Structures are given as C-alpha cells and as structure tokens.
Structure 1
C-alpha cells in the first residue's frame, strides 16, 4: 500500500473517530452546577475543549487504523469471507 493511500485512509478514520469521541466527557450546565444562560438548551455542553477531543480522536483513529492495516497485511478478514450472497 502506498503511503498516500495510507494517509488518506488514516484521515478518513480520524474524521469518523471525531463523531465517536464527541459525546464522551461532555458535562451539561446542570451537571457542572452552574446557571444556564438565558436561551441556552438544558442539554448544551458547559465547556468544550478542542484539544482533548483532538487527542482522543487521534488515539482512537490510530488504533482503528493499525487494526485496519494489520488486517490488510495478514488478511484476517477478506472480501471473500464477507460475500454471503454468492456462496
């Protein structure tokens, strides 16, 4: 696999992992024990740390990409194994 392909696939894993990571560690104003701003939804997060999200996303994406690459190298799951319609 070329390094450009690996980089593109890693970027896709990273972009997907953002949506996996975003809900974790979120605290609402009620959970943080602070007053709501007028017009603020009760479910809105109290604070947001982009650095924490990026670090967590990078860790998750790296683990998923390593598993993907190891499967690519060793062939643990192939397309023939997943083709249930033509058996």
Structure 2
C-alpha cells in the first residue's frame, strides 16, 4: 500500500507536534532560577524561550524520524503482519 501525499503530510504534521512538545522544555530557565523577573508574573515563566531555534530543531528531528520510518515502511518492516506478530495478536 502506497501512502498518498496527504497521508504522509498528516503523519508528518502529528509527528512534528509530538516532537515540538518534547523539545519545548530543553534549555529553558525560569524567572525563579534566573533570579530576575517582572513583578506580577509567574516565577515559573521562562526568561528566554528561543522559539525560533526550537522550531528549527523540531523540524529537523521530525524530518529524520519521518524519513527513517518511511524507509522502514517501504523496506517492509512496518507491515500489518509483522506488527501484529510483534504485538502477539493474530492477524
């Protein structure tokens, strides 16, 4: 079974969001840890989020994971028979 472009895009989109939520906490210093903060703000708020850098890293990591997964799929490692045998359920 060959994926269509829209299916591949949907899979990449979901993968991208999952990787984004994994990469968000890396490199964050809170106002409490940094010792400075604006009055009236939450002490756990980040000082400098660097979202542009995180979005670039998220895109790169997602692209690598997606490429490896698509390679494995086209090589036959991700077919329904193999996955059902791996999970112990009859097909």
Q: TM-score range by the shorter chain?
A: 0.7 to 0.9
Q: CA RMSD in A?
A: 2.0
Alignment-derived partner of residue 4 in structure 1? 6
Give, in whole Å, the separation in 1 of the partners of 2:71 and 2:21: 24
For structure 1, the 5+ residue unaligned runs are none
Q: Find the residue that maps to 1:38 and give its secondary structure.
A: coil
Give, in whole Å, the separation in 2 of the partners of 1:54 and 1:26: 14
For structure 2, the 5+ residue unaligned runs are none
Pairs aligned (count): 86
Give, in whole Å, the separation in 2 of the partners of 1:2 and 1:29: 46
Task: Confirm whether residue 62 of structure 1 aligns to residue 63 of structure 2.
Answer: yes
Alignment-derived partner of residue 39 in structure 1? 40
Runs of 4+ deviating beyond 6 Å: none
Asked which structure has the greater RCO (Cα within 8 Å, sep 6+), the reply is 1
Give the TM-score normalised by the residue count of structure 2: 0.75
Q: Find the residue that maps to 2:61 and give its secondary structure.
A: helix
Give the TM-score normalised by the residue count of structure 1: 0.78
